[in-house]
Amino acid sequence: MDKILIRGGKVLKGEIPISGAKNAALPLMIAALLTEEPLTLSNVPRLADVALLQRILRELGAHTTLLGRKAGESPFAGDVVRIHAEEITNITAPYELVSRMRASFWVIGPLLARCGQARVSLPGGCAIGTRPVDLYLKALSAMGAEIDIEQGYVVAKAPEKGLQGARIVFPKVSVGATHVTMMAAALARGETVIENAAREPEVADLARCLKAMGAKIEGEGTSTIHIEGVTALHGADHAVLPDRIETGTYAMAIAMTGGEGTLTHTRPDFLDAFLEVMEEAGVTITLDETRMHVKSNGGLKPVSVETQPYPGFPTDLQAQIMALMTMADGVSVIRETIFENRFMHVQELARLGADISLSGDTAQVRGVNELIGAPVMATDLRASVSLVIAGLAARGTTELNRVYHLDRGFEALEHKLAAVGADIERVRG
Ligand code: EPZ
């Protein structure tokens, strides 16, 4: 297995290009199942999860074509991928694939809407929590689907005349359940209203793509989304939103080293809650429409953060802010309210000398003067990048194992960081 070695202490300076968002690309690719015409996506990030999802879509009968980059584009410009589900020849998403990437469970919505049936493996839990799918199943049932659980699979069947629009009130915000309900409702009969919908930019991006495909959707980006079902959707061209989590992550990497840099090809307007925390930490950030300029003023001040659904502070930046605060001048308090077990990075940060104490859903991070490099292990995607951030400032060498977690969500991480001065390399294992 590959490792990443980081020799800490280098000050990062320069420009880091941001890739298309993994968490936008995945639902957009799945939306291609809703039409028999091709959906062409640009700015698609080169990630393990994107490659795996293409394989899953092909197993269902879709054809995926990598159209590569336009001539002369930067090496980090995203891929153009065309997905053509002219015919769906298989309605089963198998355990061996769904268990590797939970978002593949989301194919249940388009399969039910387009084919009237679906057999999708339950995704199972993961490092950060049990991650049930009860909200998805309640929503699809409310739209008329018959749902059974058979040997670890969800077996779903739509009524003869297809799914029926319904009023869905989610008791808690769920990004995936909002994606799936919106996609199923796009081809249902009548109107669906989703209350307490997720407001994440990736949900709004999916809605924009569905509307380009002919769907009738209003309210995306707010807590109430209205969908008027149509009989069929057509193909479209759509650009994947820039990755707000990658943007916040690299901003914190620059701040961790006391450096100065600019994140390009991004949408900084999706990061208001993050920007407030950066200001509290004493990091100077200036924005324009597609760029974020970050300047650390030497020391870091402690912060108090609570993760919340969008537009609150993203849970996907929680591990990274924790890494940054390990060297702040004081005690920070970080509360994780979305997932029940998203502190797996604490023990690994402690191996680098961090002083963190946990009490239930809250971590207290007491800043230290120095971190010391050591071998550490990644446990999930965002925890792994928090160890990279810490390693960039640690004295000596940090060896990050289980790098496949990183490759799921951060395109060319070591190249992007090396280009701004990090002493980082991948050792093929
Ligand atoms: C999406 O996961 C993201 N994944 C996650 O990013 C992100 O952390 C999460 O949203 C929250 O923002 C993708 O977009 C591919 P949820 P999702 O449904 O949709 C509970 C990353 O690192 N819940 O919003 O699976 C659930 O257990 C990943 O890129 C139920 O109880 O998250 C969690 O506690 C990690 N029942 C909370 O809701 C359900 O039926 C929010 O989960 C569904 C969810």
pLDDT tens digit sequence for 321-354: 999 999 999 999 999 999 988 999 999 999 999 9
The angle, 0 to 180 degrees and rounded to 10, between the axes of the packed helices 272-280 and 244-256 is 10
Q: Domain residue spans in the chain?
A: 3-19+242-427, 22-239
For the structural domain made of 3-19+242-427, what CATH number should be given?
A: 3.65.10.10
Q: What does the pLDDT read at residue 331?
A: 98
Q: Which atom of ligand 1 is nearest to the CA of 131?
A: 27
The reply to whether 22-239 shares the fold of 3-19+242-427 is: yes
The confidence score (pLDDT) of residue 41 equals: 97
134 lines ligand 1 (CB under 6 A): yes
Given a cut of 80, is residue 127 above it in pLDDT? Answer: no
Kindly report whether the peptide bond that precedes residue 159 is cis, defined as omega within 30 degrees of 0.
no
Q: Is a pLDDT exceeding 80 seen at residue 126? A: no
Q: 3-class SS at 191?
A: strand
> What's the per-residue H, E or C state across 387-418?
HHHHHHHCECEEEEECCHHHHHHCCCHHHHHH
pLDDT of residue 352: 98
Alpha-carbon distance 241 to 154, whole Å?
A: 31
* CB-ligand 1 contact for 391 (6 Å cutoff): no
How much is the pLDDT for 304? 98
Percentage above 90 pLDDT, the chain: 92
Q: Give the pTM.
A: 0.97
Q: How far is CA 359 from CA 325, 341, 342, 343, 382, in A?
A: 17, 12, 13, 11, 21
| Of residues 292, 334, 301, the one with CA closest to residue 315 | 334
CA max distance for the chain = 66
The average pLDDT across 61-86 equals 88
The chain-wide mean pLDDT, for the chain, equals 96
**49, pLDDT greater than 80:** yes
Interatomic CA distance for residues 413 and 2, integer angstroms: 13
Q: Among candidates 32, 105, 138, 420, which has minimal Cα distance to 257?
A: 420
Which pLDDT belongs to residue 270? Answer: 96
Q: Which residues are catalytic?
A: 126
What pLDDT, on a 0 to 100 scale, did the predictor assign at position 111? 98
pLDDT exceeds cutoff 80 at 262: yes
Mean pLDDT for the stretch of residues 365-394: 96
Q: Tell me which fold the domain 22-239 belongs to.
A: UDP-n-acetylglucosamine1-carboxyvinyl-transferase; Chain (3.65.10)
Cβ of 186 below 6 Å from ligand 1: no
What CA dihedral angle connects 127, 336, 302 and 416, to 10 degrees?
40
pLDDT the model gives residue 72: 77
Structure confidence by residue, pLDDT tens digits, 211-246: 999 999 999 999 999 999 999 999 999 999 999 999
Centre of ligand 1 to C-alpha 271, Å, is 18
d(CA 310, ligand 1 centre) in Å: 12
Least confident of 139-148, 330-339, 399-408: 399-408
395 burial (CB, 10 Å; 0-12 / 13-18 / 19+) is middle
CA 385, 389, 392, 397: dihedral to nearest 10 degrees? -50
pLDDT tens by residue, 145-178: 999 999 999 999 999 999 999 999 999 999 999 9
Q: What b-and-e string marks burial along 352-377, b requiring 16 or more CB atoms within 10 Å of the CB? A: bbbebeeeebebebebeeebebbebb
